[in-house]
């Protein structure tokens, strides 16, 4: 949805995505597991922040976040 992507930078101040995490893993840029986990958590928190409550994407992000923490 194009109109949503235009407001993303105003809502999410510190973007992070799985592609960036993958790239950082491949380049051995994480100093420890805690830095990796912080970036993954940022993905899920950004998803929850940006997507309205009750939307499918937010529900999925919350479930994935819960599984990650387990």
Supply 53's token pair: 């409550």
Residue 4 has what pLDDT? 58
- Please check whether residue 42 is in contact with residue 65, taking contact to mean a CB–CB distance below 8 angstroms: no
Instruction: Report d(CA 63, CA 23) in Å as an integer.
Output: 24
Confidence of residue 2 (pLDDT cuts 50, 70, 90): very low
CB count in 10 Å sphere of residue 61:
20
What are phi and psi for residue 51, nearest 5 degrees?
-95, 130
pLDDT single digits (tens) 17-69: 999 999 999 999 999 999 999 999 999 999 999 999 999 999 999 999 999 99
């Amino acid at each position: 949805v194009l109109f949503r992507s235009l407001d993303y930078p105003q809502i999410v101040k510190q973007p992070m995505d799985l592609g960036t995490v993958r790239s950082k893993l491949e380049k051995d840029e994480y100093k420890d597991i805690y830095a990796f986990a912080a970036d993954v958590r940022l993905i899920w928190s950004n998803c929850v922040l940006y997507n309205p409550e009750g939307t499918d994407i937010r529900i999925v992000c919350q479930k994935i976040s819960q599984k990650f923490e387990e």
